[in-house]
Amino acid sequence: MRHFIIDCDTAEDDIFSLFLLLHKGMKVHGITVVEGNVSFPVEVRNALWASDFARRYFKVDLKVYPGMERPLIKGFRTVENVHGKGGIGDSALETNAKPEPKHAVDFILETADRYPGELEFLAISPLTNLAMAYLKDKSLPEKIGKVWVMGGTINGHGNITPAAEYNIWVDPDAAKLVFNAGFDITMVAWDLITQYTVNEEWEEIKRMNTEMSQLYINFYTHYRNFAMTRQKMRGNPHPDLITTAVALDQSVATRVERQFVDVENCDCLTRGATVIDYLGVLGKEPNVNVVYEIDRGKFIAMLLDLLGGQRV
């Protein structure tokens, strides 16, 4: 059995990443929430809604642990223009569920102690929770088996700034700590995933008429419109979901290279950029498995399989 914590700034793609993990039968020990996409209370509420949904649909009990509400050092901004005010478009998800009183950082540390070497941390969000956990326990990189990171760029094409991807840009100090701490990291970059959008499949998904497919269309419509108009994409991207697919089945990643990656945290034009030492000129040990290509067919098949279940 594989053990996961999913760390979210809970918007549409984060929620579907959770659903894909559960659909594939993974043991998800908890959802930790961190600052990012939308206001923190909305992110927590979305995570609680997702755990309610998961209880009914996947028959699992899932707890939500709110974590860091802001980056380690500097400020950041949320991106309601990208994901809508509710993170799944402009409407709000409602739930009466309550989060756990335990802080996400303590939950991460306790779970890593309980499953040494086995726990996998799916970081589809800024890295503040993981960095804080590491600051509290410097042996965490030996205790966490794998860290799957949605973040950064491989060709320098950012989304929040010309050079930086949002998750890393929100808290580059946290990312710098995490990348240099000795975790077993696999990185799925923004400018990789933009090549693998859902295009004409959108209409096929609309026709599926399952509970999951309807939810998908509702949740991703805002993001799709933003991506196709403002980001000039052919369809809607899935940064978090592709990272999850790679974590679930490593054969989804068809080209992976081990390289030294660092993070720029200056107050400058390139703040939050990931710097990859392609030629090894820094003479540092490689610290990240960088994904350069994925099997689109495999990813789309996983997505359609998730969406096809349980007809309405």
Among ligand BDR, Ca ion, none, the one that 262 touches (CB under a kind-dependent 5 to 8 A) is none
| Residue 45 and residue 93 in contact, taking contact as beta carbons nearer than 8 Å | yes
Strand positions, DSSP E, the chain: 3-8, 27-33, 64-66, 119-124, 144-150, 185-188, 253-259, 261-263, 274-276, 288-294
For the CB of residue 15, give the shortest distance to ligand BDR in the complex, in Å.
Answer: 10
Round to whole Å and give the CA distance between 177 and 134.
8
Contacts of 308 (CB under 8 A, 6+ apart): 208, 210, 212, 213
Among Ca ion, ligand BDR, none, the one that 166 touches (CB under a kind-dependent 5 to 8 A) is ligand BDR
Sign of the torsion formed by the C-alpha atoms of 188, 289, 122 and 58: positive
Among ligand BDR, Ca ion, none, the one that 307 touches (CB under a kind-dependent 5 to 8 A) is none
Among Ca ion, ligand BDR, none, the one that 165 touches (CB under a kind-dependent 5 to 8 A) is ligand BDR
Q: Does the protein bind Ca ion through residue 127 (CB under 5 A)?
A: no
Round to whole Å and give the CA distance between 273 and 19.
30
- Residue 94 has which token pair? 């409602």
Among Ca ion, ligand BDR, none, the one that 30 touches (CB under a kind-dependent 5 to 8 A) is none
Packing angle, helices 40-57 and 12-23, rounded to 10 = 30
Q: Which is nearer to ligand BDR, 44 or 79 (CB)?
A: 79
Q: Does the protein bind Ca ion through residue 188 (CB under 5 A)?
A: no
For the CB of residue 299, give the shortest distance to ligand BDR in the complex, in Å.
Answer: 16
Q: Does the protein bind Ca ion through residue 124 (CB under 5 A)?
A: yes
- Among 43, 165, 240, 262, the residue binding Ca ion under the rule CB under 5 A is 240
Q: Which is nearer to ligand BDR, 19 or 190 (CB)?
A: 190
- Chain-centroid distance of CA 233 in Å reads 20
Q: Which is nearer to ligand BDR, 120 or 240 (CB)?
A: 240
For the CB of residue 267, give the shortest distance to ligand BDR in the complex, in Å.
Answer: 21
For the CB of residue 240, give the shortest distance to Ca ion in the complex, in Å.
Answer: 5
Q: Does the protein bind Ca ion through residue 125 (CB under 5 A)?
A: yes
Binding site for ligand BDR (CB under 6 A): 9, 11, 13-14, 37, 79, 82, 124-125, 150, 159, 165-167, 190, 239-240
Round to whole Å and give the CA distance between 241 and 181.
25
- Among 14, 35, 171, 264, the residue binding Ca ion under the rule CB under 5 A is 14
| Residue 39 and residue 86 in contact, taking contact as beta carbons nearer than 8 Å | no
Q: Which is nearer to ligand BDR, 84 or 239 (CB)?
A: 239
| Residue 39 and residue 77 in contact, taking contact as beta carbons nearer than 8 Å | no
Query: Which residues in this chain contact Ca ion in the complex, by CB under 5 A?
Result: 9, 14, 124-125, 240
